[in-house]
Amino acid sequence: MYYDEVPLSLIEELIAVNVRSTLVVTRAVLPGMKKRRKGLVVCVGSGASVLPSDPLYAAYAATKGAAEAFCRSLQGLDT
């Protein structure tokens, strides 16, 4: 199976699990971090976002790359 044969529902599930959940949870904890004036967000990534992989894993790699980009954008920010 190749990327163009992967069901759209599976791609949407990958986005929900690997990207949306990271955005939602981070957004939920930020108010408390701002109130305490400290906090730490820890993101766990995957080599799939930077290493060449099988075409079957293209959507997975894309979602992991998106989550990594989001986490990097937060790096070093004061809450």
> Looking at the annotation, which residues are catalytic?
60
Q: What is the dihedral of CA 60, 18, 65, 28, to 10 degrees?
A: 170
What radius of gyration, in Å, describes the C-alpha atoms of the chain? 15
> What is the Cα–Cα distance from 62 to 60, expressed in whole angstroms?
5
> What is the Cα–Cα distance from 62 to 53, expressed in whole angstroms?
11
